[in-house]
Chain A
Amino acid sequence: MLIVGAFEHSVELEQALAVLEHMGFPQKSILVVPMDTDPEMGNQYIAKSRDRYYKAFEVGMAGATACSVIGMSIGFVLKLGPVFWGLVFAFFAFWIGFIVYLHFNKDNSRHLPKKLPEITVIVQTSKEKSETVMETFWMYRALVVGHVTGQER
């Protein structure tokens, strides 16, 4: 019988595998397949659709810091003072940087859900033990679990 589970990258995944091995499931009966979430292999480790927003955030932060210094300086001769103008400049510079970056870097990736099945685990076992494997999968935060009742070896 085959039990198939999909996980995110996590400590729980390693716990699940360690527990299964500890329970006596031989290492050879466990198959682990790391899945790519993006067709481009080059950045397979970072590939998540949220990357674009991270980059935009970085640009926003850089802009906010620069403009905050300018706003603060000018604030000394303006009515509401340097702290107020420093914060206002920082706020607007952040959003301008953030939006301009997103505008010039259009999203051409697929819209992926927040949680992705990044690792597939397949365990070959007897029918009696299959429940234990499935329970272990669920206990350690498997995203999905399935099973195939095939011929016994």
Chain B
Amino acid sequence: MATISMFGITHFHRQNPYLVAWWSAAYPGFGHYLLNQYVRATILTLIEVTINTLAHINESIVYTFCGNFEKAASVLRPEWVFGYLMIYFFAIGDSFRSTLMQNKLCHLAELENNPICSVHLHPLEIQYLEQKNPFLALWYSIMFPGLGQLYNHQFVLAFYAIFWWWFYLIMSHVYESAFYMITGNLQQAISVLNIHWLLFLPSIVGGATYHAFIIVIEHNRLYRMEQRRYLAERYGNNESQLFPSGGLINC
């Protein structure tokens, strides 16, 4: 059902395949993060940011929604676009299919009800399963994507997300834009923004928040499952009779 390592807890959980596929569509790789397939998810996110930048996908999206279809077509780089599309749709399809499979494996693991090791001591780290508050994870993630993952003890993923969030903030100039907007300089607020990097932001905040929130709920579920299993094992074979003299017969 779950295993614990220096990097945190890796586990099966039941999910709605459409939601997982949707997060893959929002940002290729995010669906695989929800499936606990961290290495391939990370590589997919690196592919997304690299190829999107080379193919100018985000600029094309903005021009399309603004109704400037000629510019939307001319800004795209055909040598990168086709490969981008293949990987993009593969990520969606694969995460959908993997969710169906993992849901079945999760069902089997639940019935098996094997012990879950809930503490891991490593010379460099301590990891443990604990009960947490999903709304605290939500709050941290909205404040700064990556902090929610840190709250969930997934420190490698957390610092990966924190690094990229800084990168996107600086490249998109979104804080400067917000500053100009507050001071009433609307013209400047729009012109300072970088279209390409700005368009990544909603997916990152949304994906990071959703991931942190789901993982808290699933960790809580694992905690409860493991505690029940443990208590049943340790205190289940109890010979004490609550009514030693035979209960009703003597009344």
Residues of B within 8 Å of A23, CB to CB, are none
Check B199 against A69 for contact (C-beta < 8 Å).
yes
Which of A60-68, A104-112, A138-146 makes up part of the contact surface?
Answer: A60-68
Check B203 against A65 for contact (C-beta < 8 Å).
yes
Q: Tell me if B44 counts as interface (CB < 8 A to partner A).
A: no
Q: A58-B214, A80-B186 are in contact. Are A29 and B240 (CB under 8 A)?
A: yes
Residues of B within 8 Å of A15, CB to CB, are none
Q: Tell me if B181 counts as interface (CB < 8 A to partner A).
A: yes
Check A72 against B177 for contact (C-beta < 8 Å).
no
Q: Tell me if B209 counts as interface (CB < 8 A to partner A).
A: yes
Residues of B within 8 Å of A32, CB to CB, are 231-232, 234-236
Number of A-B contacts (CB under 8 A): 126
Q: Tell me if B8 counts as interface (CB < 8 A to partner A).
A: no
Check B181 against A30 for contact (C-beta < 8 Å).
no
Nearest B residue (CB) for A31: B238
User: When chains A and B are docked, how far (Å) is the Cα of A54 from the Cα of B134?
Assistant: 9
Nearest A residue (CB) for B138: A57
Q: Tell me if A9 counts as interface (CB < 8 A to partner B).
A: yes
Residues of B within 8 Å of A77, CB to CB, are 66-67
B interface size (C-beta, 8 A): 54
Check A30 against B22 for contact (C-beta < 8 Å).
no
Residues of A within 8 Å of B231, CB to CB, are 17, 32, 34, 119
Nearest A residue (CB) for B130: A11
Check B186 against A9 for contact (C-beta < 8 Å).
no
Check B190 against A81 for contact (C-beta < 8 Å).
yes
Interface membership of chain A positions 76-103, coded 1 if the CB is closer than 8 angstroms to chain B and 0 otherwise = 1101111110100010000000000000
Nearest A residue (CB) for B204: A65
Q: Tell me if B198 counts as interface (CB < 8 A to partner A).
A: yes
Residues of A within 8 Å of B169, CB to CB, are none
Which size bracket describes the interface of A in this complex? 35 or more
Which residue of A13, A27, A66, A119 contacts B234 across the interface (Cβ within 8 Å)?
A: A27
Interface membership of chain B positions 231-251, coded 1 if the CB is closer than 8 angstroms to chain A and 0 otherwise = 110111011101011000000
User: When chains A and B are docked, how far (Å) is the Cα of A34 from the Cα of B232?
Assistant: 8
Q: Tell me if B174 counts as interface (CB < 8 A to partner A).
A: yes
User: When chains A and B are docked, how far (Å) is the Cα of A28 from the Cα of B19?
Assistant: 47
Which residue of B181, B198, B210, B235 contacts A62 across the interface (Cβ within 8 Å)?
A: B210
Nearest A residue (CB) for B27: A65
User: When chains A and B are docked, how far (Å) is the Cα of A153 from the Cα of B193?
Assistant: 80
User: When chains A and B are docked, how far (Å) is the Cα of A66 from the Cα of B228?
Assistant: 39
- Least Cβ–Cβ distance between B199 and chain A, in angstroms: 6
Q: Tell me if A122 counts as interface (CB < 8 A to partner B).
A: yes
Which residue of B62, B181, B207, B239 contacts A84 across the interface (Cβ within 8 Å)?
A: B181
Check B223 against A9 for contact (C-beta < 8 Å).
yes
A54-B217, A62-B206 are known; give 20 further A-B pairs, CB within 8 A. A2-B242, A9-B228, A11-B130, A30-B235, A32-B232, A34-B228, A45-B228, A58-B210, A65-B26, A65-B202, A65-B203, A65-B206, A68-B202, A69-B61, A69-B202, A73-B65, A74-B66, A83-B177, A83-B198, A119-B231
